[in-house]
Structure formats: C-alpha cells, structure tokens
Amino acid sequence: MAAGRQGKKRRGPVWDAGQVRSLRRHLGLSQQGLAEELGTRQQTISEWETGQYRPRGTSARLLTVVAERAGFQYEVGRRSEEQEGTA
C-alpha cells in the first residue's frame, strides 16, 4: 500500500480580493507589475482583485511564497478584513 497525502490538504491563506490587493500594495506594485512577477496577465490580477475569480492551485501557492518572502502578514484559512466595495 502506497503512502501518500490522501485526504490531507495544506491550508494556506484564503486569497480573496482584499488579500491579493493588500499583498500587491505591500509590494508597492501596480497590477501590471504583480502580473509580470507572477508570470500572468494584468487582467488576471484585476479579476482576482475585483472578486470575479480567486487564485487557486499554483497561483495561490506562488502568492503565498511571494507573501512570505516579503514579510506580508496573512492569516491561514481566514478571509481578509479588507473587503471594501471600492474599485
């Protein structure tokens, strides 16, 4: 019987719109700048920040690595309090 990670998922931060925006601002980057750092499109960053989509999979893990290296404080598995309705 093979030992694996069955049923165990690593819990990282919940990358909601507010968390992505807060991280980008912490880094001092524009949406385009963060997109370039992550190897994605500016439109994707915009979609994350407006709540149209959420980062998942590799994108979420990459955001977590960037956040940790930048000293960005986040809470694992909790939604950001910065859920403002402004664009």
Which tokens in the block code for residue 10? 């690593």
Of 82, 85, 65, the residue nearest 19 (C-alpha): 82
25 part of a folded domain = no
pTM of the model: 0.75
Q: Look over the chain and give the mean of its residue pLDDT values, rounded to a whole number.
A: 83
Q: For position 77, what pLDDT does the model report?
A: 64
Q: Look at residue 10 and tell me if it is in a domain.
A: no
**What's the pLDDT tens digit per position in 32-72?**
999 999 999 999 999 999 999 999 999 999 999 999 999 99
DSSP β-bridge partners for residue 13: 76
Structure tokens at 78: 């909790």
Within-domain flag for 53: yes
Work out how many domains the chain is built from and give that number: 1
Domain that residue 64 falls in: 33-71
